[in-house]
Amino acid sequence: MRICKTNDVRQTDLRQHLGDKPGIYCWHNTHSDMWYIGSAGQSISERTDRRIHALNTNRCDNKRLTKDWNDEHVFEVSVLTICDDPDQLEILEHQWIQKFETEKRSMYNVNRLAKDVVIKSPEHAMGRVKRKCTENLITGCWEANYLKPGKGYGNIDYLGQTGLQLHRLAFKAANPDVNMLGKVVRHLCGNRACCNPAHLKLGSHLENMHDSAKRFEAFGEESKTIMEWLSDPRCVKIQRVTLQNRINIIKWNVEKALTTPVRHMKRPVATVGLTPEIEAQIIQMYAHGHKSKAQIGRACNVSATTVFRVLKKVTV
């Protein structure tokens, strides 16, 4: 099925060509011969419709794909695999990306986590990590104080590397000679917020998915229920330590906010009443077209809203 920004794609046409089943799909740019691979957990047609809406409103996170879409390139959308198992979708998506990359195809997909981390020195990087973490005395995890919403990982800006995941920096500080290009850092403890190098191991994306599957299988029918886990003395102790760590962080933030001086903005002093001379000055300055309403207001010692009302009264 061919789609383009200038064409009005209906959802019924997407259902007819792509179907309503979950699976892996791909977009092929017929102009630049680039490929994009994605996964849909519910319906490929609905996922494609949401992707088109995001591209039309410039809300797509893939900048290269957005640029080609705005340049009115034609894309061919097709289904690669139908998969009803939601736990296998991410694994299949990664396998298809690897297959296309081995065939030397140009891809829109960019794995931001596969870049190598640049550090100044192991001691400097580890010091930055420890200042951003709080140690859990029960589990031994170095839990990040500030977590990325929706992901659960700690982030840091380090040596120009914005949005760097904190556990990747911790692993690089403990293993400075290891090349992390194309690899992910796995959490052996299962805690995404953990940055303890003893709990981290380098591996592939597929191995990381297998780790998640094994942890998911551990909570089967034979395991304890939620209420049994919550009533376990070990779990209660862990909750108390984690809660105390969060309270200490909140106290530190409150103390910092109270001790930081507040910078007040300088506001123009409003005049009592608006004289005809000021109105004439506002109209004359705006007629020349050299200044904005805010600049005219600062020059005449009035607000921009007052300038707008004076000009509106003249134009009406």
For 170-180, write each residue's pLDDT tens digit. 999 999 998 88
Burial class (CB in 10 A: 0-12, 13-18, 19+), 69: buried
Closest CA to 164 of 128, 136, 190: 128
pTM greater than the 0.75 cutoff: no
Question: pLDDT band at 303, cuts 50/70/90?
Answer: confident
pLDDT of residue 123: 93
pLDDT in tens, 267-291: 444 444 578 888 888 888 888 776 7
Question: pLDDT: is 251 or 18 the higher one?
Answer: 18
pLDDT of residue 184: 86
d(CA 265, CA 316): 34
Cβ contacts of 66-74, under 8 Å, gap ≥ 24:
68/29, 68/31, 68/32, 68/34, 69/5, 70/5, 72/4, 72/5, 72/6, 73/4, 73/29, 73/30, 73/31, 73/32, 74/2, 74/3, 74/4, 74/29, 74/30, 74/31
Q: Is the pLDDT of residue 209 over 80?
A: no
Closest CA to 167 of 133, 214, 121, 211: 133
pLDDT of residue 21: 87
Under DSSP, the state recorded for 268 is: P
d(CA 233, CA 236): 5
pLDDT of residue 197: 94
pLDDT in tens, 100-113: 877 888 888 765 44
- The phi and psi torsions of 297 (rounded to 5 degrees) equal -65, -40
